[in-house]
Amino acid sequence: MPQVEKKKTLVLLGTGWGSATILKNIDARRFNVVVVSPRNYFLFTPLLPSCTVGTTENRSIMEPIRHIVGKRNVKFYEAECTDVDVANKHLVLERTNPPESALQTNLRTTIPYDYLVVGVGGTYNTFGTPGVEQHACFLKEMGDASKIKRRLKDTIESASFDNISESERDRLLHMVVVGGGPTGVEYAGELHDFLVDDLKKWVPQLANRFKITLIESLPNVLSSFDKKLSDYTKSTFEKNHIDLRTSTMVKEVKEKSVIIQNPDGSTQDLPYGTLVWAAGIRARQFAHTLRSKLPADQTNHRGLLIDNHLRVLGARDIWALGDCTVTENAPLAQVASQQGKWLSKSLNSMTRDASVSDIFAQIDTKTKPFKYSSNGSLAYIGGEKAIAELPFLNGHITAGGPLTSIMWKSYCLWELFSVRSSMSVASDWFRRALFGRTVSVD
Ligand SMILES: Cc1cc2nc3c(=O)[nH]c(=O)nc-3n(C[C@H](O)[C@H](O)[C@H](O)COP(=O)(O)OP(=O)(O)OC[C@H]3O[C@@H](n4cnc5c(N)ncnc54)[C@H](O)[C@@H]3O)c2cc1C
Ligand SMILES: NC(=O)c1ccc[n+]([C@@H]2O[C@H](COP(=O)([O-])OP(=O)(O)OC[C@H]3O[C@@H](n4cnc5c(N)ncnc54)[C@H](O)[C@@H]3O)[C@@H](O)[C@H]2O)c1
């Protein structure tokens, strides 16, 4: 009797842009698909800044993994992968229930893999700046956005109290954003909208004292975009009374104030109520754990080195994609999702090819290398304005203003993972237009 070959186990680490795209497209009849992630949902990060002020509801941009899996047979572990044995092909998974959970269990297990895809993404980078970890808010995960929203609500309620000093009121109402990359700029834009559209109506006496400062160490914000767009953002921020401090470096974050170094070299102690650290990202711990197992090939401390078929250098049967890798591409959602599409398509086609006996070894002879094709970059800058840098012929064209904001919104609705999410976001925007935002939180 002919031997039926056992299906190989494909483990996907993460449920972000890279891994969730693979999960959506992989043929689960040909692999035992196992997903491991501390998050049981996919997060649509382009709308994360808008969740901090209630423009978009949190759940609208969270796509449950079970929805992506559908009726296919996929095993999901809500856990973190903390270790890997590359010789014996085993992964260590750990799950710590949150302190508020009634289940006081810390679970640990080991699972085998035949093929592994690492899509664990990046995390915020503090660059070792003192006090950031202890006192700053971040904007990377949904929990971060909820924390900022709660801080905002607490700030407004505390600043409304009668018996606090005026300087304390000003401190509470000072919102500092560190980092003039797209995350910091989009967050400052959303904060401005909340101030103008909502706070001015609810608490006009406080709204006039609400202040937004954005601190950027380089001479321009959005330095990865065309200079025209960075200048346009600067002039929009000036009109919107966002205090933009370029060529200014944050040196230390204290509980109630931040030490900055001004362009002339002098230092200043700025009191703040809420500080959001959006100063860039770095690879997550698991990427470094895997690197440490492959010291001869994994020589870049910024993340995993891969070849142009997304194979982890020095490894066997391990691919990696997205923000945990170091390539010539920027850490972008569209890069991770294109890589996810490429890898799932390659894996699917190779399992159908009878001449393939070793997917990992033969992938470079059976498939064309991955090549990123930019669809352009868009960012929301507040006041119903966005900026866009779009590929055109051999160069690019730029656009900025209210029409670009419609383009940005259309892009978001189009790119959201499901019709359910697109409808939820559209209805959030409609509700916001009719009734305004709310930062009501527990
Ligand atoms: C606020 C914000 C807005 C953005 N807007 C845009 C935009 O408009 N356009 C754009 O192109 N890019 C944007 N980006 C960048 C984009 O989100 C990232 O490039 C993208 O998320 C990278 O995808 P990824 O799959 O590598 O990682 P992620 O999407 O970060 O996913 C990583 C996954 O791995 C999981 N994980 C972490 N550790 C482990 C572990 N040890 N074991 C298992 N799983 C683990 C995480 O829970 C998560 O599910 C934005 C980023 C932010 C923060
Ligand atoms: N709309 C979009 O396309 C979009 C939105 C968000 C993020 N992203 C992508 O996600 C990635 C991360 O973006 P990001 O904005 O979080 O980070 P980033 O690295 O793009 O920007 C961080 C900024 O912080 C500044 N900075 C660092 N340390 C500082 C300090 N001590 N004091 C003052 N400024 C300091 C840096 O000079 C830099 O300009 C990027 O690839 C970005 O393109 C894209």
The predicted model gives 269-273 an average pLDDT of: 97
User: Could you write out the three-class secondary structure of the chain?
Assistant: CCCCCCCEEEEEECCCHHHHHHHHHCCCCCEEEEEEECCCEEECHHHHHHHCCCCCCHHHHEEEHHHHHCCCCEEEEECEEEEEECCCCEEEEEEECCCCCCCCCEEEEEEECCEEEECCCEEECCCCCCCHHHHCEECCCHHHHHHHHHHHHHHHHHHCCCCCCHHHHHHHCEEEEECCCHHHHHHHHHHHHHHHHHHHHHCHHHHCCCEEEEECCCCCCCCCCCHHHHHHHHHHHHHCCEEEECCCEEEEECCCEEEEECCCCCEEEEECCEEEECCCEEECHHHHHHHHHCCCCCCCCCCEEECCCCEECCCCCEEECHHHEECCCCCCHHHHHHHHHHHHHHHHHHHHCCCCCCHHHHHHHHCCCCCCCCCCEEEEEECCEEEEEEEECCEEEEEEEHHHHHHHHHHHHHHCCCHHHHHHHHHHHHHHHHHCCCCCCC
Please tell me the distance between residue 181's alpha carbon and the centre of ligand 2 in angstroms.
3
Pocket test for ligand 1, best of 12, 36, 37, 148 (most atoms within 8 A of CB): 37
Q: How far is CA 265 from the centre of its chain?
A: 33
The tally of domains found in the chain comes to 2
Query: What residues flank ligand 2, with Cβ below 6 Å?
Result: 46, 127, 129, 178-184, 186, 215-218, 223-224, 249-250, 278-281, 330-332, 377-379
> For residue 212, is it within any domain?
yes
Q: Are residues 133 and 274 in the same domain?
A: yes
CATH value at residue 191: 3.50.50.100
Please tell me the distance between residue 76's alpha carbon and the centre of ligand 1 in angstroms.
19
* Residue-averaged pLDDT of the chain: 95
For residue 142, what are its two tokens?
């949904």
> For residue 409, is it within any domain?
no
| CA-to-CA dists, residue 161 to 170, 275, 372, angstroms | 12, 21, 53
Q: Are residues 83 and 201 in the same domain?
A: no
Q: Are residues 242 and 322 in the same domain?
A: no
Phi, then psi, of 318 in degrees rounded to 5: -125, 125
Query: What residues flank ligand 1, with Cβ below 6 Å?
Result: 13-19, 36-39, 45-46, 48-49, 80-81, 119-121, 139-140, 183, 284, 286, 322-323, 331-334, 336
Is the pLDDT score of 5 beyond 90? no
> For residue 21, is it within any domain?
yes
pLDDT tens per residue, range 126-183: 999 999 999 999 999 999 999 999 999 999 999 999 899 999 999 999 999 999 999 9
Please tell me the distance between residue 327's alpha carbon and the centre of ligand 2 in angstroms.
17
Q: Are residues 333 and 257 in the same domain?
A: no
> For residue 56, is it within any domain?
no
Please tell me the distance between residue 394's alpha carbon and the centre of ligand 2 in angstroms.
26
Domain end (from 366, 401, 419): 366
The predicted model gives 108-134 an average pLDDT of: 97
> For residue 408, is it within any domain?
no
Is the pLDDT score of 442 beyond 80? no
Is the pLDDT score of 2 beyond 60? no
Q: Which domain holds residue 33?
A: 8-38+79-123+282-366
Q: Are residues 144 and 261 in the same domain?
A: yes
Q: What is the largest CA-CA distance in the chain?
A: 86
Domain end (from 236, 264, 279): 279
Q: Are residues 313 and 184 in the same domain?
A: no
Q: Are residues 216 and 263 in the same domain?
A: yes
State the pairing for strand pair 281-283/122-124. Answer: antiparallel
pLDDT of res. 104: 63
> For residue 194, is it within any domain?
yes
pLDDT tens per residue, range 15-50: 999 999 999 999 999 999 999 999 999 999 999 999
pLDDT tens per residue, range 308-327: 999 999 999 999 999 999 99
Q: Are residues 117 and 131 in the same domain?
A: no
Q: Are residues 190 and 246 in the same domain?
A: yes
The predicted model gives 374-400 an average pLDDT of: 94
Q: Are residues 255 and 133 in the same domain?
A: yes
Q: Are residues 199 and 252 in the same domain?
A: yes
Is the pLDDT score of 440 beyond 90? no
> For residue 375, is it within any domain?
no
Domain end (from 279, 312, 332): 279
Q: Are residues 99 and 202 in the same domain?
A: no
pLDDT of res. 3: 47
Please tell me the distance between residue 52's alpha carbon and the centre of ligand 2 in angstroms.
18
Pocket test for ligand 1, best of 58, 323, 329 (most atoms within 8 A of CB): 323
> For residue 156, is it within any domain?
yes
pLDDT of res. 6: 79
